[in-house]
């Protein structure tokens, strides 16, 4: 990332799997010390064990980002045990599928609790720590679905749009302190979340080719992203190479939303 990244500290939410785990690994490979946060304590412990077995500096901090108190405690613990936070990556996310008219109250509430309120809870706690130090960078992992309507995904799309705009507004407010806040918007990425959307062996093909009945184009690059590819974009936006980039939304979707 830069010459001094070996002394830097990142808090990564959703670090037990998918994109969050890939981000934790990529940061660790750059010498960053990672405070890995997830509400699934056993999966988090296993993920951190893999990182430390590979010689990377990672500490597990189980927490539920939907709780403001839990988020605050996680940030406090990270600062005490790992060190002053330089970076925050909001990668925790959930997906509840269902047509808007048929979506249950709980599905809507849980989607927003993690994807939007969770970003608010952790960002607020972490950036409060960064402001007095006049340094820091935040990346929220949103989705290309934040700006492109998808059938059966109203709650997810809306929650990711909320997280995106919150992150940009936060970035505007803390720019005076030299703190940058950016968004990475992945498309279809090979994670448990994507695999859960596939009901049979035609799933991957439909993702690549698109679905006319759902007004969904395919992926022009003809491949599904790996979590590591998304992590590279996150690492870039956190790094000093992106020192004049803030409030930006970087889409990593192989062209699936046609650059719009």
pLDDT value at 4 more than 70: no
pLDDT value at 32 more than 60: yes
Q: What is the mean pLDDT of the chain?
A: 96
Q: Is the dihedral of CA 224, 230, 232, 236 positive or negative?
A: positive
Rounded CA gap, 164 and 159, in Å?
9
pLDDT value at 2 more than 80: no
pLDDT value at 218 more than 80: yes
Residue the block writes with tokens 């590591």? 228
**Of 183, 189, 202, nearest in space to 242 by CA:** 183
User: What's the confidence (pLDDT) of residue 7?
Assistant: 87
Query: What are the chain's domains?
Result: 5-251 (3.40.50.720)
Interval 149-166: pLDDT, tens = 999 999 999 999 999 999
Interval 173-215: pLDDT, tens = 999 999 999 999 999 998 888 777 877 777 888 899 999 999 9
Whether 156 is catalytic is yes
Annotate 157-214 with DSSP letters as a single string: HHHHHHHHHHHHHHHHHHGGGT-EEEEEEE-SBSSHHHHHH--STTHHHHHHHEEGGG
The predicted model gives 83-89 an average pLDDT of 98
């Amino acid at each position: 990332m830069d010459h001094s990244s070996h002394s830097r500290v990142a808090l990564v939410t959703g670090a037990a799997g998918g994109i969050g785990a890939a981000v934790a690994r990529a940061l660790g490979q750059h010498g960053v010390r990672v405070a890995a946060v997830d509400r699934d304590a056993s999966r988090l412990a296993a993920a951190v064990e893999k990182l430390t077995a590979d010689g990377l500096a990672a500490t597990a901090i189980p927490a539920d980002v939907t709780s403001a108190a839990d988020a605050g405690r996680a940030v406090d613990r990270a600062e005490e045990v790992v060190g002053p936070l330089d970076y925050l990556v909001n990668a925790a996310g959930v997906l509840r599928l269902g047509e808007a008219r048929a979506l249950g109250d709980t599905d809507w509430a849980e989607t927003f609790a993690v994807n939007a309120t969770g970003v608010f809870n952790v960002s607020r706690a972490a950036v409060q720590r960064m402001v007095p130090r006049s340094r820091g960078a935040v990346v929220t992992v949103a989705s290309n679905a934040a700006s492109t309507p998808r059938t059966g995904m109203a709650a997810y799309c809306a929650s990711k749009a909320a997280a995106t705009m919150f992150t940009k507004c936060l970035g505007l407010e803390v720019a005076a302190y030299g703190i940058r806040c950016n968004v990475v918007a992945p498309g279809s990425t090979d994670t448990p979340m994507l695999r859960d959307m596939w009901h049979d062996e035609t799933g991957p093909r439909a993702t690549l080719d698109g679905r006319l009945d759902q007004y969904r184009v395919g992926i022009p690059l003809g491949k599904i992203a790996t979590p590591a590819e998304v992590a590279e974009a996150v690492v870039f936006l956190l790094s000093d190479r992106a020192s004049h980039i803030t409030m930006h939304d970087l889409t990593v979707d192989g062209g699936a939303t046609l650059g719009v």
